[in-house]
């Protein structure tokens, strides 16, 4: 079994996001970047499945500029066997990423494709579902537990009502939840070994995929500042304020 894992380079989740003065986007220059957190869970699960003897190879793939190679190297340092970088500049929307991954899947012929449930930068939660539609493969989204069987997966999903367990046939697309596992840290020896692992680089244009954005971003602005709270002396005063000032009752 071969597992392909898609990873994305995003602004680190610990960084305070700042909007550019002209409102054209967020500041990314000299800002710490890292792997999208749910993608770390996807890599960890793929490596665990390989360590359990149920997969023979884990391939990490990322779509982005030259710096996205760092994200692939991190995946290699925690256990992926080789990497693929699809080079594309600018903003790459989920549909374009899905079409690029479709080409990679057709070339690599994996049995499973793992990725995070969504990216923390655009929060779209679309790529896995779109890829499943393009490939006509079954999908299991928001996975918090995965059991690999002979020719299928039993997946526990996080849904609004609680947990849902489904079974999907292989090949399949799985998007991973943060509660799926605890991603390991890359040790220094493994980081050094990762530098020797191969990363294949492919231009998105060579795949025949149009990566031009279909959505025009007009303006980016920070959310309004929250007003300070107040204290009330009684339930009656609270009801009056909710009725007369907040207009909620």
Q: Which pTM was predicted?
A: 0.84
- Residue of 33, 54, 27, 241 lying closest to 146 (CA atoms): 54
Distances in whole angstroms, Cα of residue 209 to Cα of each of 97, 173, 203, 217, 240? 9, 21, 10, 21, 59
Distance CA 147, CA 85 (A): 29
Residue 247 pLDDT > 80, yes or no?
no
pLDDT tops 80 at residue 246? no
**218-229 per-residue burial string, b: 16 or more CB within 10 A, e: under 16:** eeeeeeeeeeee
For the ranges 145-154, 195-204, 207-216, 239-248, which has the lowest average pLDDT? 239-248
Interatomic CA distance for residues 236 and 74, integer angstroms: 58
Helices (H), 109-143: 127-135
Quick one: average pLDDT of 53-58?
A: 93
- Domains belonging to the chain, first-starting first, are 2-224 (3.40.50.620)
More confident residue, 23 or 112: 112
Q: What is the mean pLDDT of residues 227-246?
A: 86
pLDDT 10s digits, 36-46? 999 999 999 99
What is the three-class DSSP state of 6? strand
| 1: enclosing H helix or E strand | none
With CA atoms as reference, report the closest residue to 118 among 58, 71, 177, 47: 177
Q: For residue 173, give every residue at least 6 positions away whose Cβ sits within 8 Å of its Cβ, in sequence order, or none.
A: 112, 113, 115, 128, 129, 131, 132, 135, 137, 138, 139, 140
Residue 140 token pair: 């299991």
């Amino acid at each position: 079994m071969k597992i392909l894992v898609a990873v994305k380079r995003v602004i680190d989740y610990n960084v305070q996001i700042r909007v550019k003065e002209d409102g054209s986007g967020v500041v990314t220059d000299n800002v710490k970047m890292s792997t999208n957190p749910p993608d770390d869970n996807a890599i960890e699960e793929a490596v665990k499945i390989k360590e359990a003897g149920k997969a023979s190879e884990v391939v990490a793939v990322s779509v982005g500029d030259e710096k996205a190679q760092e994200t692939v190297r991190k995946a290699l340092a925690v256990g992926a066997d080789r990497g693929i970088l699809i080079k594309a500049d600018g903003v790459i929307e989920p549909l374009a990423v899905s079409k690029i991954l479709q080409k990679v899947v057709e070339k690599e012929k994996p049995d499973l494709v793992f990725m995070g449930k969504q990216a923390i930068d655009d929060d779209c939660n679309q790529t896995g579902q779109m890829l499943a539609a393009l490939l006509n493969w079954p999908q299991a989204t928001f996975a918090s537990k995965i059991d690999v069987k002979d020719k299928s997966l039993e997946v526990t999903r996080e849904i609004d009502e609680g947990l849902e367990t489904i079974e999907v046939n292989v090949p399949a697309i799985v998007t991973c939840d943060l509660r799926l596992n605890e991603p390991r840290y890359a040790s220094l020896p493994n980081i050094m070994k990762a530098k020797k692992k191969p990363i294949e680089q492919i231009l998105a244009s060579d795949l025949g995929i149009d990566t031009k954005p279909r959505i025009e971003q007009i303006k980016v602005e920070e959310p309004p500042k929250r007003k300070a709270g107040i204290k009330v002396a009684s339930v009656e005063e609270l009801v009056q304020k909710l009725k007369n000032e907040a207009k909620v009752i």
